[in-house]
């Protein structure tokens, strides 16, 4: 598998070097983007979603057909609160899966964001106050009672007048104050949050955007590649998601959603509003694209502004 991938990458790199980048629009006809359209769509994403920004990347890996300061898009520290497989278990197998694209070999893109399974609502696992071993208190005490340690009397406390107070040089009695004492809850009740840096590059060979994932555990340590697959839809993990070198960064391996089907899927999505007389505008491409990518990484909560108007009525 690794040998096959290396041969493919060599072939793809050779084709990219000898082929000029797309400059003519084929957005509506094929679902692809030209380089100027990718930059236009990226500018709109950054303007509408400030969590995204353009990056220059490493100078040694700069693509000459892209502006030096707009090599790729990135959003950092994106939370991933749950593993993808736990979400998929909440959807019915029959009612929740929609094949977005299929070919003769049956290799299609499968959307897992369908109708939620009709499971009985389970009580949320929230620790009760009883499990926290909180020190008991008999209610709110008056200020003097905290220092005297004695019973609170119904009568008014006999507080000495400062004029009659004689300094004997002795310290006040060091009585233990009464306060709440709580122990840390069990580890099962602590939410361990993974985070991801999500980047979007322009793939010259496929003429579409391409998503890359860099994962970190709750201690901000890089995730091993096999752990990243836990946060990817199991219908796509190890099938349409691969571990490769980032085209603009030097360090480490990154998970990537392979773009071989992106254009076909985007064309099908674009055809839906067009059938209703609405022509999607090219600068909204990345919003549509990121909504589609959410079916692959359903628990990585990046921003793609779902309420954006996709186009105008023709």
**Residues designated as active site:** 260
- In the three-class reduction of DSSP (H, G, I as helix; E, B as strand; rest coil), residue 256 is classed as strand
Distances (CA, A) of 166 to 162, 175, 236: 8, 21, 81
**Which of 28, 24, 57, 8 has the alpha carbon at shortest distance from 200?**
57
Please, what's the b/e burial string for 142-166 (b: 16 or more CB within 10 A of its CB; e: otherwise)?
eeebeeeeeeeeeeeeeeeeeeeee
Contact 210, 256 (CB under 8 A): yes
CA distances, 260 to each of 190, 208, 209, 239, 311 (Å) = 39, 9, 11, 11, 26
Phi then psi dihedrals of residue 158, to 5 deg: -85, 90
Q: Among residues 199, 239, 259, which one has the least CA distance to residue 31?
A: 259
Which has the closest alpha carbon to 302: 311, 292, 310, 294?
294
Q: Are the beta carbons of 37 and 65 closer than 8 angstroms? A: no
53 bridge partner residues: 74
Nearest residue to 295 (alpha-carbon basis) of 242, 246, 236, 247 = 236
b/e sequence 195-218, b meaning 16+ C-beta within 10 Å: bbbbbbbbbbebbbbbbbbbbbee
Q: Which residues contact 39 (CB under 8 A, 6 or more apart)?
A: 66, 67, 70
Residues 255 and 237 sit within 8 Å (Cβ to Cβ): no
């Amino acid at each position: 598998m690794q040998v096959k991938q290396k041969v493919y990458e060599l072939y793809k790199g050779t084709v990219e070097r000898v082929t000029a980048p797309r400059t003519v629009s084929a957005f509506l006809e094929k679902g692809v983007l030209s380089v100027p359209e990718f930059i236009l769509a990226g500018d709109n994403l950054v303007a509408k979603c400030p969590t995204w920004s353009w990056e220059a990347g490493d100078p040694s890996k700069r693509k000459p057909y892209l502006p030096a300061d707009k090599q790729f898009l990135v959003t950092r520290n994106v939370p991933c609160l749950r593993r993808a497989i736990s979400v998929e278990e909440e959807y019915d197998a029959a009612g929740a899966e929609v094949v977005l694209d299929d070919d003769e070999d049956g290799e299609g893109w499968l959307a897992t964001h369908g109708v939620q399974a009709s499971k009985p609502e389970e009580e949320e696992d929230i620790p009760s106050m009883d499990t926290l071993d909180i020190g008991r208190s008999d209610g709110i005490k008056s200020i003097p009672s905290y220092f005297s340690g004695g019973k609170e009397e119904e009568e008014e406390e006999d507080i000495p007048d400062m004029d009659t107070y004689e300094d004997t040089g002795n310290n006040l009695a060091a009585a233990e104050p009464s306060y709440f004492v709580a122990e840390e809850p069990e580890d099962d009740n602590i939410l361990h949050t993974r985070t991801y840096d999500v980047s979007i590059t322009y793939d010259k060979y496929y003429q579409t955007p391409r998503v890359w994932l860099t994962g970190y555990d709750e201690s901000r340590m890089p995730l091993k590649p096999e752990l990243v697959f836990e946060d990817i839809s199991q219908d796509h993990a190890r099938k349409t998601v691969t571990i490769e070198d980032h085209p603009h960064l030097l360090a480490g391996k990154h998970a990537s959603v392979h773009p071989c089907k992106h254009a076909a899927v985007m064309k099908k999505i674009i055809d839906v509003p067009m059938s209703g007389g609405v022509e999607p505008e090219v600068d909204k491409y990345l919003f549509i694209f990121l909504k589609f990518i959410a079916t692959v990484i359903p628990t990585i909560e990046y921003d793609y502004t779902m309420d954006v108007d996709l186009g105008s009525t023709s």
